[in-house]
Amino acid sequence: MPDSHADELAGARRRVAQLVHDLDLDGKRLRLEELQDLAGQPDLWDDPDRARSVTTELAAIEQEVARLAGLTERIDDLEVLEQLAQEEDDDSSSAEVAAGLAAMAADLDRYELATLLSGEHDNADAIVSVHAGEGGVDAMDWTQMLLRMYTRWAENHGYAVDVYDTSYGEEAGLKSATFEVKGPDAYGYLNAEHGVHRLVRISPFDSQARRQTSFALVDVVPMLPELDEEIDVPDEEIRVDVYRSSGPGGQSVNTTDSAVRLTHLPTGVVVSCQNEKSQHQNKAAALRVLKAKLAEFERQKRAEELDDIRGGKQNVGFGSQIRSYVLHPYQMVKDLRSEFETGNVSAVLDGDIDALLESELRRRVRVAAESDD
């Protein structure tokens, strides 16, 4: 007689039921019907911005409903297969149940992580900027590695990525890059990455193969749809510079001055966009990013005022890294906030950062609960 999986199945069904409740599947189905009605209106595309907002939310809600409904279907199928395995004394079917439960447990872990996202803007898209810090060409190479890591993570989760600007190093790598990650809870997940990231490795750029420590700063802000209405930036507060888009080694990638750099004069915030097809499109994209940065600037200023009242604030500068990635003399990635660590550095650099994100999100929930007590 095959081993019974009845207890594991019952536990999985309880987790599914709790998840369906916490993520409000019924509410999402109602919202899906509303969005489908809106998407079917013949005058929808009279307002392209509104139409894009509706279709983007519709696609995200459809995906979320399908995932949650799919969990219930999967547990139903596994229970039927378990019954068949027991009735027919079928070890192969029992093995399928065990494999299905393992896969489902991994998916449930990921979905349950979404219930930890309770911040005001956690459901927003994310604007991510990576900047090379100390470490010379190694830091620029490290910045490019981080861009690839986040891009792979986004692709693995079905998120769209729009790269707005890339500033290449003279020898290798990137001085900086700015990109938008579009998808459900993108900011909620990625804001856990905000801070300084340190890489320790044998430098591929050192002829003597010495160990090099390099740093990169990751900055994450939410992209909010209401920013155009809430954030008013007078033209006289913005300096607009146009230039030719450049590629690796300073090569010009087009023959027109289509790239745009915006400088907000009162705050000194600078954003650039060079990857759209025209100067007008680059300016519009850069303005969206600028507004997101200014909104975050105001939030941080208010937070600093509160920190001063409380008696201090946390330094978020170089030398206060949130995570270390060590490739030599041993291999380990360690988050210095949550103390989570893993030896599978290659998987992390290939975008497998879910466990790191989860460890930080759970730490934040724990800290918030302790402060409430």
Read off the pLDDT of residues 337-356 as tens digits, 9 standing for 90 and up. 999 999 999 999 999 999 99
Length of the chain: 373
Task: Classify 342 as helix, strand or coil.
Answer: strand
pLDDT number for residue 311: 41
Q: For residues 338 and 116, give the distance between their C-alpha atoms in angstroms, rounded to a whole number.
A: 15
Whole-number percent of the chain with pLDDT over 90:
54
Read off the pLDDT of residues 164-186 as tens digits, 9 standing for 90 and up. 889 999 899 999 999 999 988 89
- The CATH code of the domain that includes 144 is 3.30.70.1660
Residue 308 pLDDT class (50, 70, 90 cuts): low
Per-residue pLDDT averaged across 89-111, rounded? 90
Nearest to 133, CA basis, from 314, 338, 320, 266: 320
Is 181 inside a domain boundary? yes
Q: For residues 125 and 179, give the distance between their C-alpha atoms in angstroms, rounded to a whole number.
A: 11
Do 89 and 173 belong to one domain? no
Give the pair of three-digit tokens for residue 143.
């910045």
Is 347 inside a domain boundary? no
Alpha-carbon torsion angle 218, 223, 227, 232, nearest 10: 30
Do 64 and 175 belong to one domain? no
Q: In the 8-state DSSP scheme, what is residue 245?
A: -
Residue 228 pLDDT class (50, 70, 90 cuts): low
pTM above threshold 0.75:
no
Domain-terminating residue out of 114, 139, 170 = 114
Please report, for residues 14, 139, 210, the alpha-carbon distance to residue 135 in angstroms, rounded to integers and kept in the order given: 50, 5, 13
Task: Classify 88 as helix, strand or coil.
Answer: coil
φ/ψ region of 24 (left if φ > 0, alpha if ψ in -120 to 50, else beta) reads left
Q: What is the average pLDDT value for the chain, to the nearest integer?
A: 86
Is-contact 142 216, C-beta < 8 A?
A: yes
Whole-number percent of the chain with pLDDT over 70:
89
Do 21 and 65 belong to one domain? yes
Q: In the 8-state DSSP scheme, what is residue 365?
A: H
Residue 373 pLDDT class (50, 70, 90 cuts): low
Is 270 inside a domain boundary? yes
Distant-in-sequence, close-in-space partners of 67: CB < 8 Å, separation ≥ 6: 111
Placement of tokens 């939030």 in the chain: 299
Give the pair of three-digit tokens for residue 231.
């954030």
Total number of domains in the chain: 2
Do 207 and 104 belong to one domain? no
Do 137 and 99 belong to one domain? no
Do 27 and 108 belong to one domain? yes
Do 72 and 171 belong to one domain? no
Please report, for residues 45, 101, 133, 143, 324, the alpha-carbon distance to residue 174 in angstroms, rounded to integers and kept in the order given: 38, 43, 11, 6, 19
Is 332 inside a domain boundary? no
Q: Is 330 exposed, middle or buried (0-12, 13-18, 19+ CB in 10 A)?
A: exposed
Read off the pLDDT of residues 181-223 as tens digits, 9 standing for 90 and up. 998 889 999 999 999 999 999 999 988 989 999 999 999 988 8
Do 76 and 210 belong to one domain? no
Do 265 and 223 belong to one domain? yes
pLDDT number for residue 226: 59
Do 209 and 266 belong to one domain? yes
Q: For residues 113 and 17, give the distance between their C-alpha atoms in angstroms, rounded to a whole number.
A: 15
Distant-in-sequence, close-in-space partners of 332: CB < 8 Å, separation ≥ 6: 324, 326, 341, 342, 343, 345
- The CATH code of the domain that includes 19 is 1.20.58.410
pLDDT number for residue 326: 97
Burial 56-77 (b: 16+ CB within 10 A, else e): bbbbbbeebbebbeebeebbee
Do 103 and 159 belong to one domain? no
Distant-in-sequence, close-in-space partners of 255: CB < 8 Å, separation ≥ 6: 244
Do 134 and 55 belong to one domain? no
Task: Classify 108 as helix, strand or coil.
Answer: helix
pLDDT number for residue 255: 47
Is 352 inside a domain boundary? no
Higher pLDDT, 318 or 330: 330
Residue 366 pLDDT class (50, 70, 90 cuts): confident
Is 316 inside a domain boundary? yes
Is 339 inside a domain boundary? no
**Is the pLDDT assigned to residue 251 strictly greater than 90?**
no
Is 75 inside a domain boundary? yes
**Is the pLDDT assigned to residue 315 strictly greater than 90?**
no
Read off the pLDDT of residues 18-73 as tens digits, 9 standing for 90 and up. 988 888 889 999 999 999 999 999 999 998 878 888 887 888 789 889 988 999 99
Per-residue pLDDT averaged across 260-281, rounded? 88
Domain-terminating residue out of 114, 140, 168 = 114
Strands 195-202 and 323-326: what pairing?
parallel
- Residue 167's domain comprises 125-320+361-372
Helix 25-39 and helix 48-87, axial crossing angle in degrees, nearest 10: 140
Read off the pLDDT of residues 284-299 as tens digits, 9 standing for 90 and up. 888 888 988 888 887 7
pLDDT number for residue 313: 41
